[in-house]
């Protein structure tokens, strides 16, 4: 998911966190050329997208983002093909 800077920001939250976590977030924000607020929003959006993908049982993230995860039936079929092949050898 790409952060869309044009999205309306109509809600606010206040959180308390350790100074070490804040420093890490600030460092990450600087390296990504974002404000601290934008970095936190980006990280939360990534977490929410991952959570959604996991609940859907569905897609890979990172390098394989957008690729549908194999179903249980797909895995059974591959196992059957492999095990059948191994028995023939």
Domain carrying residue 28: 19-88
pLDDT band at 1 (very low <50, low <70, confident <90, very high): very low
44 is a domain residue: yes
pLDDT tens digits, 44-71: 888 887 776 666 665 566 666 767 777 7
Count of structural domains, the chain? 1
* pLDDT at residue 58 in the model: 58
- Tell me the C-alpha distance between 65 and 7, whole Å: 23
7 is a domain residue: no
* pLDDT at residue 78 in the model: 86
pLDDT band at 36 (very low <50, low <70, confident <90, very high): very high
5 is a domain residue: no
Residue whose pair of structure tokens reads 């924000």 in the numeric block: 29
């Amino acid at each position: 998911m790409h952060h869309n800077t044009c999205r309306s920001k109509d809600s606010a939250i206040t959180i308390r966190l350790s100074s070490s976590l804040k420093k890490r977030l600030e460092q990450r924000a600087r390296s990504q050329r974002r404000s601290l607020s934008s970095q936190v929003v980006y990280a939360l959006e990534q977490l929410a997208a991952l959570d959604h993908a996991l609940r859907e049982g569905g897609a890979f993230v990172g390098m394989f983002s957008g690729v549908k995860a194999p179903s249980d039936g797909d895995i059974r079929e591959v196992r059957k093909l492999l095990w059948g092949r191994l028995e023939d050898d």
